[in-house]
């Protein structure tokens, strides 16, 4: 019985990390280390399809939702022999969750990265990441996006006289620096990257090896930008700080600066804190968590349950086909 526990980034834009416990076609997933959703998929539907080299996506069924405080809340049950098999897979994932949920954060396993390239064929912006070479046949959008949340909440005074949201301007600026070519890389433990196949041209780039320094650690390259646009990207990274702190390979100076920025978003710190691999100023982050607790204690309008979390839906390939 093989059970995998790993972390994977949520990208384009980077918006956090999902931690996954996987057994066959069952997964327990969390983005905060507290609330876990358990899904099963009927992988038997793929048998005999004859889709050599092509992946297909099958609909997920909610096995249940679990937290240490509230225990397991089961999803709907279906009286069928096929569902009994799915139930058994979900039970294995659930039982393992009970054993290892305190061991988060798990190690990142999404070493295959799709980068939008600049006009010098250097990595400009990270678009997607997957765990295995076989998953690099996905066809995600090949433009970088600051994201819907940024359009609503990100602000910057770096560019004078803007008449549109800073995120809209940043999105257009980053994509204007791109060549239109994207390339998959297999990143190694030392941060270097082996160039794999490209999308929209760039075939001669296959097989090249780039040093770790070629890959911007916060997923957007600022080399070649003027001071104002560099500050715009820095402001965007500061806004992303609560989930940037989820990354394991930040140097102490970078982590300290991001912690200071993250403290401006106390509720986001509280959401992600349990998954931070390291903390520099524990007292400051704890103070932010206290602030978040005070905010949560205030009454809020009730929100309707939207079912499957959006972060999980967005893990699927845009080219996958429902069965």
How does DSSP assign 128-167, residue by residue? EEESSGGGGG----SS----HHHHHH----SSTT--S-HH
What's the average model confidence in pLDDT over 199-212?
95
Q: In this structure, what are the phi and psi dihedrals at residue 159, rounded to the nearest 5 degrees?
A: -105, 115
Q: At 270, is the pLDDT very low, low, confident or very high (cuts 50, 70, 90)?
A: very high
Q: Looking at residue 312, what is its pLDDT?
A: 40
User: What is the rounded distance in angstroms from the CA atom of residue 198 to the CA atom of residue 51?
Assistant: 22
* Statement: residue 288 has pLDDT above 80: yes
Could you give the 3-state DSSP secondary structure of residue 190?
coil
* Statement: residue 309 has pLDDT above 50: no
* Statement: residue 302 has pLDDT above 70: no
Q: At 305, is the pLDDT very low, low, confident or very high (cuts 50, 70, 90)?
A: very low
* Statement: residue 219 has pLDDT above 80: yes
Q: Looking at residue 43, what is its pLDDT?
A: 66
User: What is the rounded distance in angstroms from the CA atom of residue 280 to the CA atom of residue 252?
Assistant: 7
* Statement: residue 244 has pLDDT above 90: yes
Q: Looking at residue 310, what is its pLDDT?
A: 40
* Statement: residue 104 has pLDDT above 80: yes
Q: Looking at residue 83, what is its pLDDT?
A: 77
Q: At 280, is the pLDDT very low, low, confident or very high (cuts 50, 70, 90)?
A: very high
Q: Looking at residue 42, what is its pLDDT?
A: 76
Total Cβ atoms within 10 A of residue 72: 15
Which residues, including other chains, have CB under 8 Å from residue 167's CB and lie 6 or more apart? 146, 147, 150, 151, 154, 236
Residue 212 or 317, more confident:
212
Any idea where the domains of the chain sit in the sequence? 3-108, 112-222, 240-296
pLDDT more than 70, % of the chain: 86
Q: Looking at residue 139, what is its pLDDT?
A: 86
Supply 197's token pair: 């196949």
* Statement: residue 50 has pLDDT above 90: no
Q: In this structure, what are the phi and psi dihedrals at residue 222, rounded to the nearest 5 degrees?
A: -110, 0
Could you give the 3-state DSSP secondary structure of residue 304?
coil
Supply 193's token pair: 């990257």
| Burial tier of 296 (Cβ tally within 10 Å: 0-12, 13-18, 19+) | exposed
Q: At 295, is the pLDDT very low, low, confident or very high (cuts 50, 70, 90)?
A: confident
Residues in the chain: 323
* Cα distances (angstroms) measured from residue 222 to each of 4, 78, 128, 153, 244: 36, 52, 19, 22, 17
Mean pLDDT in the chain?
88
* Statement: residue 53 has pLDDT above 60: no
Q: Looking at residue 65, what is its pLDDT?
A: 97
pTM: 0.86
Q: Looking at residue 59, what is its pLDDT?
A: 63
Q: Looking at residue 301, what is its pLDDT?
A: 60
What's the average model confidence in pLDDT over 236-261?
96
Q: Which residue reads 């509280």 in tokens?
A: 270
What's the average model confidence in pLDDT over 215-234?
96
């Amino acid at each position: 019985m093989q059970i995998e526990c790993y972390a994977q980034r949520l990208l384009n834009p980077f918006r956090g990390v999902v931690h996954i416990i996987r057994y066959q076609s069952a997964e327990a997933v969390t983005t905060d280390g507290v609330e876990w959703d358990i899904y099963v998929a009927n992988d038997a539907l793929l048998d005999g399809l004859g889709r050599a080299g092509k992946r297909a996506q099958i609909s997920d069924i909610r096995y249940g939702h679990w937290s240490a405080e509230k225990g397991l809340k089961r999803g709907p049950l279906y009286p069928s022999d096929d569902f009994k098999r799915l139930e058994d897979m979900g039970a294995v994932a659930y039982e393992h969750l009970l054993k290892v949920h305190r061991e988060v954060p798990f190690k990142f396993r999404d070493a295959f990265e799709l980068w939008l390239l600049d006009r010098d064929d250097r990595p400009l912006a990270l678009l997607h990441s997957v765990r295995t070479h076989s998953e690099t046949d996905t066809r995600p959008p090949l433009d970088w996006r600051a994201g819907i949340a940024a359009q609503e909440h990100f602000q910057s005074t770096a560019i004078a006289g803007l008449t549109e949201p800073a995120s809209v301007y940043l999105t257009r600026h980053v994509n204007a620096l791109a060549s239109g070519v994207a390339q998959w890389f297999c990143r190694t433990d030392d941060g270097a990257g082996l160039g794999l196949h490209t999308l929209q041209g760039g075939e001669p780039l296959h097989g090249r090896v780039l040093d770790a320094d070629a890959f911007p650690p916060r997923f957007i390259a600022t080399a070649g930008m003027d001071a104002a646009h560099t500050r715009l990207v820095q402001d965007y990274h500061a806004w992303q700080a609560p989930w940037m702190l989820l990354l394991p390979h930040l140097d102490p100076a970078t982590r300290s600066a991001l912690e200071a920025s993250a403290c401006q978003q106390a509720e986001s710190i509280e959401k992600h804190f349990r998954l931070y691999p390291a903390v520099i100023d524990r007292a400051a982050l704890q103070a932010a968590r206290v602030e978040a607790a005070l905010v949560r204690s205030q009454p809020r309008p009730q929100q309707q349950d939207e079912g499957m979390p959006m972060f999980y839906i967005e893990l699927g390939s845009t080219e996958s086909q429902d069965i």
